[in-house]
Structure 1
Amino acid sequence: MANKMVMGTVGFNFPIALSLIHYITAWVLMAVLKALYLLPIAPPSKSTPFSSLFALGAVMSFSTGLANISLKHNSVGFYQMAKIAVTPTIVAAEFILFKKKVSLRKVTTLAIVSVGVAVATVTDLEFNIFGACVAVAWIIPSAVNKILWSNLQQSGNWTALALMWKTTPITIFFFLLLMPLLDPPGLLSFNWTIKNSSAIMISALFGFLLQWSGALALGATSALAHVVLGQFKTIVIMLSSYLVFNSDPGFTSLCGAIIALGGMSIYAYLGLKEAATGGKRVPSTSRQSSHSLKSKVIVDGEKPETRPVDSV
């Protein structure tokens, strides 16, 4: 919403440049944390090849840049609607890349969530042909970005800030390449007043917090769970506008929100149930391994006592 205000009310019609400002701000903030020794240490470079970091930084630039272009030309509702298509894209991509399957119950739940979000946002679908094409083009980089980030952070034992620190310069480099191609001319002639600059910097701070919290969520859960969390954010925004600001989304949208919340609750329950089931198996194996190791240690420890002592 802050980005939409910057590109709408403030009139900063440079979505790639806005993304560049966001990531430069994030890099400066992380540099301050690093100077204060508050930035987590990255894993050894041998554990993660540079090509993986480079690919993640490149995909992230396309994902973020196209998202802001879509937000510029479409309404927030249509922008959120486009996120629905990310869900099946992630399911298909994870199956192709990692042979990861999703249970039928989860697929049904995700379908319910998608239908609920679609119904909830159907009253705010303002877009044009170019904006719709950008939204479609954004779907694949967004899905790949989430999958790569989640897989790399979990397999390489990266913390969110450490991985952000490594990939942000790569993303900034690609933004510099994309800006002349996708942004309209006139950036330097923009009216950089204190009010306009403050609005842009506030959106940049929100962008850093969003990137950080998103990285934490991807590292702790999965790309699919992150998408469901994003849909939950959409419903929270709509319901809070209805409860706090007395907006009237309409009875149909409220029903869609209730359906989506129900589907998200079931999805969370299924995820916790699977985690609990998996958690019960691991300790059992661990106990057996521990017991075997303990037995081996005891036997090995008894061997010196059973040996006859040679007389000197």
Structure 2
Amino acid sequence: MGEGERFQLGTVGALTLSVVSSVSIVICNKALISSLGFTFATTLTSWHLLVTFCSLHVALKMKFFEHKPLDQKTVTGFGILNGISIGLLNLSLGFNSVGFYQMTKLAIIPCTVLLETLFLAKRFSRSIQIALLVLLLGVGIATVTDVQLNALGSVLSLLAVITTCVAQIMTNTIQKKHKVSSTQLLYQSCPYQSGTLLISGPFLDWFLTNQNVFAFKYTTQVLAFIIISCLISVSVNFSTFLVIGKTSPVTYQVLGHLKTCLVLAFGYLLLHDPFDWRNILGILVALIGMVLYSYFCTHESQKKVSEEATQPLQAGEGESDRLIGVENGSGGVVTDAVAQKAPEWKSNKDLHA
């Protein structure tokens, strides 16, 4: 199996792991929040990250991966930024209607495209732009219902979108720039992410729910769901960094909208959530956008690989042409020399005669 095939297989595995784990944790958390009344989302996320760090620390001790030191300022800033983006997304949900919050999540893709175009000089073809537009239209039809605006909620949403985009772009660029794996980056940034949310989480949750996470009655069932959620989160966090590192922030967001569609479908099938023709139409349109995006990305990547493969061949052919030209030129010189010497040899022969 070639290196390219292994990379593609790894990418497919990362995407699959991300979808399965994310859908699983959403269903688990939905039962935890809706059915059991545990509404402390930010604090729960901090526990997720803490368990992820502990799991990776055990994996490091067992030599499953190697520790690679990174610039401390980069890791600290990256980890804190990730924690802030999570907190802002939760605040955005708390201060806005569900419909406006869904629009906030939809805005992450165009914002990411804009930032990568402006600051990283990345180019997105017209085909990919159209595919993303179809995807966003479908997800919007399926998820956006009541849209109510307010000044504070809009500011929080804007900050949430910007911090999320920057954090995801940094996830990709740090891995490539410093040549670290997703596991190494996640391990080093997790303490700062979890620390940020462990400190701010209880206050944010109290502010949003008017309830104290430490005063909540933790039944056996609640604890069981929290433990399951934390265990699944290890896979979610790992696959998130893995997908962004292997693909791009935009692809990760496209994958996120696929998860949204799957969650809607599973919510209808398993939890009997309300489902109407608008949800079905939106999911179908979104799936068309995802298929188009996947097709155009695959087509462009194959085209790029073929172009890169032909460049060395063309360079080799040019080098061969130059060598042939030199040989022909040197042959001409030898021939001329022989031609010039021939008469001299003959004249000498005539003299001796």
User: Contact 2:202/2:213 (CA < 8 Å) preserved in 1?
Assistant: no
Q: Mapping of 1:117-132 within 5 angstroms? A: 117-123=139-145, 125=146
Any idea what the Cα deviations from partners look like across 1:72-130, whole Å, max 9, x if unmatched?
6778776544311101110111122212222222222211111110101135x588957
Structure 1 stretch 78-87 or stretch 156-165: which is displaced more? 78-87
Partner of 2:160: 138
Partner of 1:8: 34
Partner of 2:138: 116
Partner of 1:229: 255
After TM superposition, give the deviation of residue 60 of structure 1 in Å: 0.8
Counterparts of 2:165 and 2:103 in 1: how far apart (Å)?
15
Is residue 246 of structure 2 the alignment partner of residue 220 of structure 1? yes
Partner of 1:37: 63
Q: Mapping of 1:130-279 within 5 angstroms? A: 134-179=156-201, 181-184=203-206, 186-242=212-268, 249-279=275-305
Aligned positions, number: 289
Distance 1:64 1:286, change over 3 A: farther
After TM superposition, give the deviation of residue 280 of structure 1 in Å: 1.0
Any idea what the Cα deviations from partners look like across 1:186-231, whole Å, max 9, x if unmatched?
2322212222111222222222221111111101100111111111
Counterparts of 1:289 and 1:63 in 2: how far apart (Å)?
47
Counterparts of 2:188 and 2:317 in 1: how far apart (Å)?
41
Counterparts of 1:234 and 1:179 in 2: how far apart (Å)?
24
Q: Mapping of 1:268-307 within 5 angstroms? A: 268-286=294-312
After TM superposition, give the deviation of residue 11 of structure 1 in Å: 2.6
Distance 1:174 1:248, change over 3 A: closer
Gapped runs of 5+ residues in structure 1?
295-312
User: Contact 1:81/1:117 (CA < 8 Å) preserved in 2?
Assistant: no
After TM superposition, give the deviation of residue 13 of structure 1 in Å: 3.4
User: Contact 1:15/1:65 (CA < 8 Å) preserved in 2?
Assistant: no
Q: 2:86 aligns with which of 44, 64, 69?
A: 64
CA RMSD of aligned residues (A): 3.0
Q: 2:106 aligns with which of 84, 88, 98?
A: 84
User: Contact 1:63/1:138 (CA < 8 Å) preserved in 2?
Assistant: yes
Distance 1:91 1:241, change over 3 A: same
Counterparts of 1:258 and 1:155 in 2: how far apart (Å)?
38
Gapped runs of 5+ residues in structure 2?
1-25, 321-353
**TM-score, normalization by structure 2:** 0.72
User: Contact 2:60/2:66 (CA < 8 Å) preserved in 1?
Assistant: no
User: Contact 2:105/2:161 (CA < 8 Å) preserved in 1?
Assistant: yes
User: Contact 2:99/2:148 (CA < 8 Å) preserved in 1?
Assistant: no
Counterparts of 1:210 and 1:246 in 2: how far apart (Å)?
25
Any idea what the Cα deviations from partners look like across 1:136-176, whole Å, max 9, x if unmatched?
43211111111110111123222221111010111123224
User: Contact 2:46/2:195 (CA < 8 Å) preserved in 1?
Assistant: no
Counterparts of 2:202 and 2:44 in 1: how far apart (Å)?
13
Distance 1:154 1:293, change over 3 A: farther
User: Contact 2:43/2:202 (CA < 8 Å) preserved in 1?
Assistant: no
Any idea what the Cα deviations from partners look like across 1:46-81, whole Å, max 9, x if unmatched?
xx4322212210111012233344556778776544
User: Contact 1:119/1:253 (CA < 8 Å) preserved in 2?
Assistant: yes
User: Contact 1:80/1:234 (CA < 8 Å) preserved in 2?
Assistant: no
Distance 1:122 1:15, change over 3 A: closer
User: Contact 1:73/1:127 (CA < 8 Å) preserved in 2?
Assistant: no
After TM superposition, give the deviation of residue 16 of structure 1 in Å: 2.6
> What code does the residue aligned with 1:149 have?
T
Tell me, what secondary structure is at the counterpart of 2:46?
A: helix
After TM superposition, give the deviation of residue 3 of structure 1 in Å: 3.0
Higher helix share: 2
Is residue 45 of structure 2 the alignment partner of residue 19 of structure 1? yes
Counterparts of 1:6 and 1:285 in 2: how far apart (Å)?
56
Counterparts of 1:291 and 1:20 in 2: how far apart (Å)?
58
